[in-house]
Structure 1
């Protein structure tokens, strides 16, 4: 049978999602725990590979098994074998037609940026940080230029293995709450480092290094060397993955910007 899971994790201690020969990834830890419950080796397929230091509020995986277990075993049972910073929140049996990666039609990320002169202490490794003051309006104007379907070569990592740099950005909103800026980004899929590169370039606009129109010029250049450096992974959260309603996955957790900080930093 095929099982689908929703999980969350704090990625600060891990080398990213994808399994590594030496271990130490979120995938490695999860597969060990699942294998203990199934009593055979489990390999999972994920909706998206998060980088080292990136967190997830709503990650989706599926795996196949012949083990007959109650659904609670794939949640509370697996959590018994997981470290404190990784947790399965939901499980269900699905047909073999479900695919965590290819069945997803949209991914949603949040980036939390602390903007104050002093570095974070309490939320170290959970938020990005910048000491230069930022102009919200300038960043919002620049963000609108990235909406729609574009070639995002200027925002992809040099090592990105995606066959095409074309992605469809459906949402890019920026909010402010006290000393925090919250970036919400939705797309059909993302290139490697795409979100962090977009945030880094928007920060350049926000601190006055470039005018908002620079974002359009940058997009059209299709040249990664013209963009800002890749921003810190610490503030990035995979916050949702969307599928056809026939699969009946739970709605991803909504974190309105007014309350998202207490929810994420709990």
Structure 2
């Protein structure tokens, strides 16, 4: 078998997350279907993580195995992106990997970026890419809250009720906030995250910025 890694970019607005679902449109489902049709092999796509519904990706890693070696990787990218032309998904790169490589278990770190547009006027260009918050947020208070999320902790409070992770313990390498004009960027880095953990943490930081939560 021949193993190949993909680097994928997508807008997740119209998809129900990464993982295949029977009745819903997902990133994994679309990719797997298109690659199977292109290569005429019953391949299985394995992603580096399971992004939630509406989440976008800049360089998400995934891999699949083939019985036959791809002779022209550039041709594959052009062909599969043609198959994906009506989707908000594109393949950036493909690399030949050894059988020891695994998109999920070989990933050293994962980075999530969350954007808050903090102004009165509604967004137009970035409508599906930011969380619009009209009330002025206290960025300094949010930064203090972010520091409390860093380290190895039990993140049960921030996991979805449907999360099936064996342990709620995660290590946050950093949670950084920066502001440019009306946009607040929140960066999270960890080896792995719980289901809906990032969204829940952002929600808490937002409430903290609105002074609806006590920092203690």
TM tier relative to shorter chain: over 0.9
Structure 1 equivalent of residue 158 of structure 2: 155
Structure 2 equivalent of residue 252 of structure 1: none
Structure 1 equivalent of residue 79 of structure 2: 77
The match for 1:131 among 124, 131, 134 is: 134
Contact 1:113–1:127 (CA under 8 A) maintained in structure 2: yes
How far the C-alpha of 1:119 sits from its partner, in A, is 2.1
Structure 2 equivalent of residue 211 of structure 1: 214
Structure 1 equivalent of residue 48 of structure 2: 47
Alignment map for 1:116-195 (pairs within 5 Å)? 116-195=119-198
Contact 1:155–1:193 (CA under 8 A) maintained in structure 2: yes
Query: 2: distance between equivalents of 1:23 and 1:170?
Result: 33
Q: What secondary structure, in the 3-state scheme, does the structure 2 residue paired with 1:73 have?
A: helix
The match for 1:89 among 75, 92, 95 is: 92
- Residue-by-residue CA offset, 1:47-74 (whole Å, 9 max, x unaligned): 0111111111111101000233211133
The CA RMSD over aligned residues, in Å, is 1.2
Query: 1: distance between equivalents of 2:64 and 2:93?
Result: 14
* Long gaps (5+) in structure 2: none
Q: What secondary structure, in the 3-state scheme, does the structure 1 residue paired with 2:13 have?
A: helix
Query: 1: distance between equivalents of 2:25 and 2:46?
Result: 17
Contact 1:37–1:73 (CA under 8 A) maintained in structure 2: no
How far the C-alpha of 1:136 sits from its partner, in A, is 0.7
How far the C-alpha of 1:84 sits from its partner, in A, is 4.3
Structure 1 length normalisation: TM-score? 0.77
Question: How many residue pairs align between the two structures?
Answer: 213
Query: 1: distance between equivalents of 2:162 and 2:8?
Result: 27
Structure 2 equivalent of residue 196 of structure 1: 199
Query: 2: distance between equivalents of 1:209 and 1:23?
Result: 36
Deviates more, 1:126-135 or 1:71-80: 71-80
Query: 1: distance between equivalents of 2:49 and 2:58?
Result: 13
Query: 1: distance between equivalents of 2:29 and 2:76?
Result: 16
- Residue-by-residue CA offset, 1:44-102 (whole Å, 9 max, x unaligned): 10001111111111111010002332111332221110134100001111111101111
Deviates more, 1:203-212 or 1:107-116: 203-212
How far the C-alpha of 1:103 sits from its partner, in A, is 1.4
How far the C-alpha of 1:131 sits from its partner, in A, is 0.9
Structure 2 equivalent of residue 64 of structure 1: 65
